Structure 1
C-alpha cells in the first residue's frame, strides 16, 4: 500500500513539474510562471528600482537660483560604468550562475538583474508568442533600470521590444513615454516629440482615453523635449497640460515650479505668481516646493500692497520652527523686499541675519554678500564693500560663472583704492603720534597697554570659567551627581582649575594687579628649580616708544607717501568712481597739507575741473588763477585759455610721442624726480590718449628709483588696476606680484 502511494505521489509531482515547464502552454504553467514572476522576481526588482529612485530624489540638490530641471536627476557627460553581466542569451542577460563577482550592487543594477532573471527563468515564448503576461513588465523594468544607469541605447532596445512584441499591453503607453525620455537624453528630441504627440493626440480622440497619470507623464516628457530644443512656448503649453490634474504630487509640484520660473524669466510676473500660488495651495505638494514658492512670490511682487502682504507672510514663516533649514533664504528675501521699499537699514539687518543663519548654501551666501557689498558701494563705503566682495571670492573660489567674474572685476577695481586708503590711515596715525610730546606719547601707549591687559584678563578668566563650569556640568573629567551645583563645591573642579591656572599664569603672589607682566611669575619644576618668565613685550611701554620715528627723513617720507596716496585717491574717485564728494575731500585735504611741488599743478587742475563742473564760480576761478599765474606755459594753462578747442588738437599724437621720448631720456639720465614731475604735468592732457598707460608706468618706475619700496608698490599697483588690460598693466601686475613676495 505504501509503495503504491509513493508511486502516485511521484507521478503527481512529476506531472506538476512537467506542467510548469516554460515550454508547456497550459493553464497551470501560464499562471504558475506569471505569479512567480510578479510576486517573487519582479516584486524584488521593483522594490530595488523604487529604492534607487528614492535615493536620487533625496540626494538631488536643486539650485533654486536657476531654472530647475523637470526631472530631478543629473546624468554624467561620459558614462563609463557598465554592469558586468554575462551575455548567455546574446542580449546582455546574466545566466545567474551564482558567481558573486557578477552580482550587481546598485539598486538599478539589482532591478536589471531581477528583470533579466524573470525573462530568462519565466519567459514562455512558444511559437513566437509570449504566454507569460508578466514578461512585458519585466522588459519595461529592464529599460527603466538601464535609463537611470545612463545606458540609453540598451534602454531604448528594451522599450522597443515591448512596443513591437506587446502592442496591446496595458503598459504600452507608459513604455512609449519612457522610450521618448530615453531618446531625449540621447539628443533625439525630434523623434521623442513626434512619438509622444502621436500617442497623446491619437489616444485622446479614442473612446477609451489614457489614464490621467499617464497623460501627466506624457505631457511632462513633451515639456522636457521642448525645453531641450529651446522651444519655450511649447514647453509652457505642455507644462500647463501636465499640471491640470496633479496626480503625481512630486512631479506635479515640480512642473508648476518650472512653469513659474519660465514665466518669471519672461517678466510675466502675474502668470509666475499664479503658478507659485498653485503650489502653495496644493495640499499634497512637498514642503520644499511650498517654501521656495513663497520665496519666488516675494521675488515677483509687483506693487507695494502685494509686497507688504508677502513680507508679512515671510515674517510668519521665519517665526515657524519647522522652517529653520530655510532661514537664510527667508531672511534674504525679507531683506530684498525691504530694499525694494527703500528701507535700507532694515534690509541690511535682514541680510546680516541671513549670513548668521546656519546653512551650507554657499550660493545663497554669495548673493547676500553681494547685496551688502552693493549697498555699501552705492553709499560710497568702498572699503566695506570690498570686504564683502572679498568674502564672495573666498567662499566661491571654484565658481566660474559670470556673476563670480563680475564680482572679481569689481573687487579688483577696489584693490588700489583700498591700498591707498590704508596708506593714508596708517601714515596719519603714525604722524599724529609723532606730533605728540614725550609725556603725551607715554600716556597714549600706557592707555593702550591698560586696555590690552584688561582684554587679556577677561579672556583668561572666561577660559578658566569655561573649563571649570564645563567639567562640572557633564564634562569629560567630572561625571558626578553634582550637576547644576556651584563648581567651587566640587574638589575635583577646584583641583583642575588650579592646574590650568598654573599652566597659564605660573605661581603668583596673592596681591593686587597679580596679572601684570612686571610681577614675578614662576613655575615650579620637579627638581624645585625656579624659572622666571621673560618680559611680555605686549605690555612693555618702552618697546612701543621705540617704534615712533624721530628722524626727519623718515617723517618726511611718511608725509610724502600720505600726500601721494591722497592725490591718487582723489583722481580715482574722480575718474574711476565718479564720486565728486570723496574726490573733493581727498584733493582739498592734500592741497592743504603743503604737498610736494610736482603735485601742486595736477591737484589744482583736478580741483578746477570738479568745481567748474559743479558750477562753483569762486572756487573755479581760484584754482584757474593759480594755474594761469604760476604755470602759464603748461598744457593746463593752454587748455584753460582755449576751452572750446578739442583736447586732441591741443596735444597732437606726434607731440605726445616726442614728449614721452624727452621724459624717457630724463629717466635714463637718472633724473627721477624731474621725470615724475614732468609726467604729472602732462597727465591731464593725456586722458584720451592711448599712450597714457606708458606715461603712468614710466612714472611708477621713476618713483621706485628714488623713493621707498612701499611707495613704489603703491604706484605700480595703481597702474596694474587702472590699466589691467594693457601691456603696461600686465607688466605692472608682474612687478607687484614680485614685490609682494
Structure 2
C-alpha cells in the first residue's frame, strides 16, 4: 500500500474512533450513535418485543361466555417477579448461552439497557442521542409485559420528564396510565388521561392512534372502578377511529357485552350487528358478534331470521373453528321456538364439533340435562349433569352456575342409586316368587333369545368378511371384473385369509417347517379358545341362571328391606327436592301396599296426607289423616294435624329439652348406656313436637348399640332412619346401617 493509501485508511479509522465517543457533542458523534442505536441495538430489541407480543397473543384465549378483557393479556399473579438484568448485561458477546433462558421481553429489555448504557450521550444534562427516549420507552413496555410494573413506571416517567417534546411523549403517558391501572391506581390514571386529552383538544388535532389508545385505557380504568356508564362512553369514543382493527373489534365486542349485561338488548344487538357487518375487522370477532346477536334476540318472529343466518354460517366451511358455538346457539333458538328435538340435535352436534373446549361443552351438557329434567327423565338428566362436572376445570368449579349444578346433581345421583336398587331388587324378587316351571320357561326363552342375537352377530361379521361383500369398498371376488386377478390383489380376500391362518396356526415366524416350529403356542391358543368356548356355552346353560337366584331367607329379607327403603327415599326425594307429586305418590303408595313393617305406616301416611292436601284432593287427604289421628294419636304428626295453627315450639321449653339432652349425652359419654336409654324413654312424653326428638332417638339407638346385640342395634337405627329420614340424624343412622351391613 502506498503512502497516500495508508493516510486515507488512518484518517478513516481515526474518524470512526473519534465518532465512537459519547462525550463529544459533534455531528459525527450524534449521527453515529443515533444510527447504531436505531438500526442495530433497538432494532433487535424491537424484534424481540414483537416476538413476545406474538406469544402473548397466541397464548391468550378469550372466554366469550364472560365479558372479555379490553386489553388481551392474561397475567399470572403467581409469577410477578422475573429475571432482573444486572448493569452491563447485553453487550458481552459470550452471553449466548444465558440468552437462551431469557424470554423475548427479557431480551428486549436487555437491548434497551445496552442502548442506554453504551450509546447514551448525556452532555451537560442534555441527551444528544435522539434514540435514547425510544430505548427507555422499549424498556418500560418490556417491563410492563413481564409484570414488573414499578420499574416500568420509572422508565415511562423518565421519558416524560426528560423528553417533554419527544414524538412519543403522548403514547408514553398512555402507557404510564395503563401501568397505574395494573398497580391499582385507577384514579391517578384517569386524571392523567383526562389531562392529556384536554390538552390535545385545546392545542392540536388528536392523532387517531393516540386518541384510540387513550380512550381504551380510560375504559380500562373505569372498568376497575365499576363505573359502567363511563366505560360505555369511552369505549364508544375509542371505536370511532378504527385505527387498530384488532383493538377496535375488541372494544366493540366488550361494549355489546356490557349492553347485554345491563339488559339493554336493543343497543347490544345494534353494536353486534355493526361489528358482524364490518368486513375489515377480524373474522373471529365478526362470527362471535353474530352469535352474541342471536343471544340477545327475543323468541319472536325475529328469531327465525337470526336462526336462518346461523344456519348459513354453519354451512360456510370457513367457520369450522366456530361450529361448536354456532351449533349451540342454533340449539338455544330452536329450544326457544319450542322445538326440543331440533335443539337437542344441535346441542349434540356442538359437543362433537372438532374445534371445541370443555367450558363450551358444559353449557351444551347443561342444556341437555335441563331439557331431560323438564321431561321428568331424571336418570338421563343426571347423566348429563355428570358430564358437566367432568368437563369443569379448577378455574371454573366455584362459579355460581357450577355450584348450582353440583347441588342438583347430588340429588339426582342419590335418586339414580335408589331407582337402580328398586329395579334390581324387583327383578330378583320377581324371580324368587316364580314357580320352578315358570323360572325354567323364562330362562329358556331368554337363552333362545341370546342365541339368536349371537348368531345374528356372527353372521354379520361373516358377511363383512365375505368375498362377495362390498362393505369394505372392495369388489366381489366372484364378479366378472375380478376374474383373472391374483388372490393377493384382493384386499378383502387377503384380510380374510390372514385372519383364518392366524386363527388356526397363531402367529408363526417365517422359517422352514413352520407347521412344527411352535407347538407350545398352538397348544396355548387351543386352551384359550377352549376356555372362551366354555364361557360362551355357560351363557346357554339353564343352571347358570337358576343357581344365581337367592334361596336364603335372610338374603331375600334384605332385598325386600333395601327395596322398601329405596321406595321410601324416592318418595321423599320426589316430594321434597323435585316437587314431583305424581312420582312421590307412586312410590309411597306402592311402598304402603308392599310394606309389612308397621313402623313405616305413620311416615308414609303423613307424607301422603301432605301431598294430597296440597293437590286439593280432600278425600284422599282425609283418608290418611284419619289413619294418623286414629292409630297414632299420641305422635307429633297427629299433634301437627290436629292443631295446625298452634305454636309448636316455645323457647323456654326448647331450652329445657336441650339441657336434658346434654344431661343424657353426658351419661352416654360416661358409658352409662342403659341409664341413658331409660332416661330417653322417661323423657319422651315431655318433648312432644320438639325439633330435638330426632337427636334423642339417635342417641338412644347409639346407646343400645353399646350393650345389645347387632340386630337390636340395627333395628333401633332403622327406626331413626325411617321416622326422621329428612333430618341429619336420620341420614346419619342410615350411614351407620350401611357400614354395619358391610361388616
TM interval, short-chain normalised: 0.7 to 0.9
CA positional deviation for 1:589: 1.8
RMSD: 4.5
What is aligned with 2:340? Answer: 344
- Matched ranges for 1:30-179 at <5 A: 30-79=30-79, 81-83=81-83, 85-88=85-88, 94-96=90-92, 98-103=94-99, 105-179=102-176
What is aligned with 2:18? Answer: 18
Contact 2:673-2:704 at 8 Å conserved across structures? no
What is aligned with 1:611? Answer: 612
2:500 counterpart (498, 501, 506) = 498
- Matched ranges for 1:711-730 at <5 A: 722-723=726-727
What is aligned with 2:481? Answer: none
1:453-480 CA deviation, whole Å, 9 max, x = no partner? 66667777888969999xx999xxxxxx
CA positional deviation for 1:593: 2.5
Contact 1:453-1:539 at 8 Å conserved across structures? yes
- Matched ranges for 1:397-416 at <5 A: 398=394, 399-416=397-414
- Matched ranges for 1:128-277 at <5 A: 128-206=125-203, 208-277=204-273
Judged with a 3 Å threshold, the aligned counterparts in structure 2 of structure 1 residues 101 and 660 are, in CA distance, closer, same or farther, namely closer
Q: Residues of 2 paired with 1:289 and 1:321: CA distance?
A: 17
Contact 2:717-2:737 at 8 Å conserved across structures? no
Judged with a 3 Å threshold, the aligned counterparts in structure 2 of structure 1 residues 196 and 458 are, in CA distance, closer, same or farther, namely farther
Judged with a 3 Å threshold, the aligned counterparts in structure 2 of structure 1 residues 644 and 715 are, in CA distance, closer, same or farther, namely closer
- Structure-1-length-normalised TM-score: 0.82
CA positional deviation for 1:112: 1.7
What is aligned with 1:434? Answer: 432
What is aligned with 1:421? Answer: 419
Contact 1:46-1:111 at 8 Å conserved across structures? yes
Q: Residues of 2 paired with 1:363 and 1:643: CA distance?
A: 49
Q: Residues of 1 paired with 2:713 and 2:142: CA distance?
A: 71
What is aligned with 1:308? Answer: 304
User: Does 612-621 or 495-504 show the bigger shift?
Assistant: 495-504
1:706 counterpart (691, 703, 711) = 711
Unaligned runs of 5+ in 1: 475-480, 506-522
What is aligned with 1:353? Answer: 349
Contact 2:506-2:522 at 8 Å conserved across structures? no
Contact 1:314-1:334 at 8 Å conserved across structures? yes
CA positional deviation for 1:79: 3.4
Contact 2:701-2:713 at 8 Å conserved across structures? no
CA positional deviation for 1:250: 0.8
CA positional deviation for 1:315: 1.7
Q: Residues of 2 paired with 1:80 and 1:738: CA distance?
A: 54
CA positional deviation for 1:646: 5.0
Contact 1:196-1:218 at 8 Å conserved across structures? yes
Contact 1:696-1:719 at 8 Å conserved across structures? no
Judged with a 3 Å threshold, the aligned counterparts in structure 2 of structure 1 residues 637 and 709 are, in CA distance, closer, same or farther, namely closer
CA positional deviation for 1:221: 0.9
**Number of positions where the alignment pairs a residue of Structure 1 with one of Structure 2:** 698
- Matched ranges for 1:641-652 at <5 A: 641-642=642-643, 645=646, 647-648=648-649
1:357-407 CA deviation, whole Å, 9 max, x = no partner? 234411111222222222323333322222222222233263233332222
- Matched ranges for 1:595-610 at <5 A: 595-610=596-611
Aligned to 1:533, the other structure's residue is in SS state helix
1:292 counterpart (263, 288, 309) = 288
Contact 2:327-2:346 at 8 Å conserved across structures? yes
1:11-68 CA deviation, whole Å, 9 max, x = no partner? 2442354245433333333333323322232222212211111111121011222211
User: Does 55-64 or 530-539 show the bigger shift?
Assistant: 530-539
User: Does 210-219 or 178-187 show the bigger shift?
Assistant: 178-187
- Structure-2-length-normalised TM-score: 0.82
Q: Residues of 1 paired with 2:696 and 2:460: CA distance?
A: 58
What is aligned with 1:517? Answer: none
1:236-285 CA deviation, whole Å, 9 max, x = no partner? 21111111111101111111111111221111112222222222122222
Judged with a 3 Å threshold, the aligned counterparts in structure 2 of structure 1 residues 561 and 322 are, in CA distance, closer, same or farther, namely same
What is aligned with 2:546? Answer: 545
Q: Residues of 2 paired with 1:397 and 1:225: CA distance?
A: 30
Q: Residues of 2 paired with 1:68 and 1:241: CA distance?
A: 19
Q: Does 1:568 align with 2:586?
A: no
1:383 counterpart (379, 383, 393) = 379
Unaligned runs of 5+ in 2: 475-484, 508-517
Judged with a 3 Å threshold, the aligned counterparts in structure 2 of structure 1 residues 146 and 339 are, in CA distance, closer, same or farther, namely same
